[in-house]
Amino acid sequence: MSGHVEVAPEERRRIIVASVIGTTIEFFDFYVYATAAVSIFPLLFFPKGEGTAALLASMAAFGVAFIARPIGSMLFGHFGDRAGRKATLIGSLLLMGLATFAVGLLPPYHTVGLLAPALLASLRFCQGLGLGGEWSGAALLAVETAAPGQRAKAAMWPQLGAPFGFILANGSFLALTTAFAFQSGAARLDDPFLVWGWRLPFLASLLMVLVGLYARVKLNETPVFLRAVERGEKLRSPVTEVFRNNFGELFRGAFIMVATYGIFYLMNTWTLSYAIGKVEQGMLGIDYRTFLTLQLVAVLFFALFIPISGALADRFGRRRLLLIVTSAIILFGLSFGWFLSPATMGSGADANLWLMAAFLSLGMSLMGLSFGPMSALLPELFPTNTRYTGSGIAYNAASILGAALTPFAATWLASGYGPGSVGLYLAGLGGATLVALLLSTETRAMDIETMEASAAAIEATSP
């Protein structure tokens, strides 16, 4: 029975819908914080700092979630590999959604003092725990129920939650800042948007969680997991097992993801802060709403290239595709100094918005090509009884290396050495991913039950 998953077409459709809805909600929750971390939280929760100092403090709180994500992957991975994928996914969704809802209720610094940033960081940590368990579970539902030779195509569906969540998060802030006529460069603490308007996307996450729960409760457990349980392969401690027997896969998987994380959080978090930052501080001074509009256009390229990369990964292999895309990311990083220099881009009202749109669209296209195959590749590295744990730890360890420090480091580098240094940072992350890929083997033809190369899979996916 190995090598072929007996799943009815209607069940696969339910999995697609549930995985896309669930990851969209989770990423919406995560990104709505990222957007507020640049434009709202420095004013409300870190007012003691001025300019770059307040932004750095907000970015540090933003990075707390990435420390929590590997912990979440171990916690939820333990239960996902022992109790099943379905129940664990429901738990991660609840934790993430309730933490995001609670952010919308927080009092600001000028009301409760240091308690405000402390509570904000704590809830951000809870967000990280939830997302740490979400991604690998959604990916496994798709991978373990995919038709033969189509794992990357099936697994790309939960990946679409990232651009969809981004569109919802940034779109909601764009709509609200427009409705409130909010000007980030001349903000006042008594501005209605800063008093209560910013809270609405966070509070709305509770309604979205209810929709996600409805979709997930109706799913069945994956047959690959059920057969592993029948064979007596369930482990007492999946975390211990994966570190003992699959440390090499953890290490390679984490570094394979590093460049993907780096480019995304540079494109959507740091670039936002640099683009709307004050001209007198060496930044571009682009209007906040104008830049959000450009980001929303660019993220469509992210969404477009995810299914393209899934098809290419099934056709030509994960490793070959990612070697090419990672090389392109390195070259893209080397272009930052030209693209983002105020001398090239212009600043304020004279900024070249077409050039900025091209820069963002190119970065998001590379992100889609890189991100798409990951939900197939990382689970393929691990056996069934540690797959939830292993793929989750690899994915979220990469978040520390490629994302937790990236907005903070980029803000510091840009303020001292200019935007070209940020591109060199991205190129360095790309170099690390390139080495990890060169040390890895192709997993396209891997039978995920036997963890051996499948002749049928090789034939089904050959060019």
Which of 182-196, 364-378, 392-406, 425-439 comes out lowest in average pLDDT?
Answer: 182-196
Res 87 pLDDT > 80: no
pLDDT tens-place string over residues 127-150: 888 888 878 888 888 888 888 888
pLDDT tens-place string over residues 316-370: 999 999 999 999 999 999 999 999 999 899 988 899 999 999 999 999 999 999 9
**pLDDT given at position 2:** 44
Domain covering 9-461: architecture: Up-down Bundle (1.20)
**pLDDT given at position 255:** 96
Say how far apart CA 206 and CA 212 lie, in whole Å: 10
Task: For the chain, give the mean pLDDT.
Answer: 84
Provide the residue ranges of all domains of the chain, joining segments of one domain with +. 9-461
The pTM is what? Answer: 0.83
Which of 175-184, 202-211, 348-357 comes out lowest in average pLDDT?
Answer: 175-184
Q: What is the DSSP string of 83-114?
A: T-HHHHHHHHHHHHHHHHHHHTT---HHHHTT
Question: Per-residue confidence at 57, pLDDT binned at 50, 70, 90?
Answer: low
Q: What is the mean pLDDT of residues 204-222?
A: 81
Contact indicator for 241, 382 with CB cutoff of 8 Å:
no
Q: What is the mean pLDDT of residues 33-62?
A: 69
pLDDT tens-place string over residues 147-174: 888 899 999 999 999 999 989 988 898 8
Res 459 pLDDT > 60: no
**pLDDT given at position 457:** 45
Which of 186-190, 387-391, 418-422, 426-430 comes out lowest in average pLDDT?
Answer: 186-190
Contacts for 149 with CB less than 8 Å, ≥ 6 apart? 314, 456, 457, 460, 461
Say how far apart CA 188 and CA 196 lie, in whole Å: 13
- Tell which wins on pLDDT, 459 or 313: 313
